[in-house]
Amino acid sequence: GENVEQHPSTLSVQEGDSAVIKCTYSDSASNYFPWYKQELGKRPQLIIDIRSNVGEKKDQRIAVTLNKTAKHFSLHITETQPEDSAVYFCAAITRAQKLVFGQGTRLTINP
Amino acid sequence: DAGVIQSPRHEVTEMGQEVTLRCKPISGHNSLFWYRQTMMRGLELLIYFNNNVPIDDSGMPEDRFSAKMPNASFSTLKIQPSEPRDSAVYFCASKLSGANVLTFGAGSRLTVL
């Protein structure tokens, strides 16, 4: 079936360190992989995405890598800041054009 | 554009009552999605529409849930009768069917007592 697994469920890092969140997907036809950030009480908001014809994409302190062969993709946040604290969701679009989300990672940045 | 508009933002109701959640997608977007978010189950896709037609409702938990999209600018998600386990935040999201970027509304927080 269509499934996205996300790890870890919680992550705590010191301010200034890097954070990495990993996801795997099951639908080999998936070709679009967005990452959403959700702050407490707010809606999920797109922060970065990657398409299957690209292996890596970077936007300032955040980057996403994709390994299509292994069907996994990762979010990397460098030089973390307190405002990076939030829940992060990965997702994959299926061949049926559904966006399926991972379970989320609660990231806490310790000052 | 005002984005995806949802109402009500908060609803508290008693078990057995009917609940109707509303959504107005971004103008021009022709795909609309309803998600439910809970701590235990994360973001679950309930149903989605393309050009007002329901495409996949396999995520709708049971017959108490129904969704409609009578026109391109309005959709409803109805729960009848509601139960305490339906308590969650319900998000509506929209996009262009040929594009990938999904935009979420602010959500409707439902509490069933």
Convert the pLDDT of each residue in B35-82 to its tens digit: 999 988 889 999 999 999 999 998 998 899 999 999 999 999 999 999
pLDDT value for A98: 84
pLDDT value for B1: 65
Tell me which of B25-34, B42-51, B96-105 is least confident. Answer: B96-105
Identify the band that residue B95 occupies on the pLDDT scale cut at 50, 70 and 90: very high
Mean pLDDT of A93-104: 88
Among B50, B21, B45, smallest CA distance to B34 is for B45
User: Is A44 in Cβ contact with B91 (below 8 Å)?
Assistant: yes
Answer whether A89 touches B (CB < 8 Å): yes
User: Is A89 in Cβ contact with B43 (below 8 Å)?
Assistant: yes
The C-alpha atoms of residue B45 and residue B50 are separated, in whole angstroms, by 14
Q: B interface toward A at CB cutoff 8 Å?
A: 31, 33, 35, 42-43, 45, 48, 50, 55-56, 91, 97, 100-107
Question: Is residue B66 a contact partner of residue B19, using CB atoms and an 8 Å limit?
Answer: no
Taking the C-alpha atoms of A45, A57, A92 and A38 in order, what is their torsion angle to the nearest 10 degrees?
Answer: -20
- For chain B, give the mean pLDDT: 94
% of chain A with per-residue pLDDT over 70? 99
The C-alpha atoms of residue A77 and residue A102 are separated, in whole angstroms, by 18
Q: Which residue of B has its CA nearest to A99?
A: B45
The C-alpha atoms of residue B16 and residue B18 are separated, in whole angstroms, by 7
- For chain A, give the mean pLDDT: 94
pLDDT value for A1: 61
Beta bridge partners of A53: none
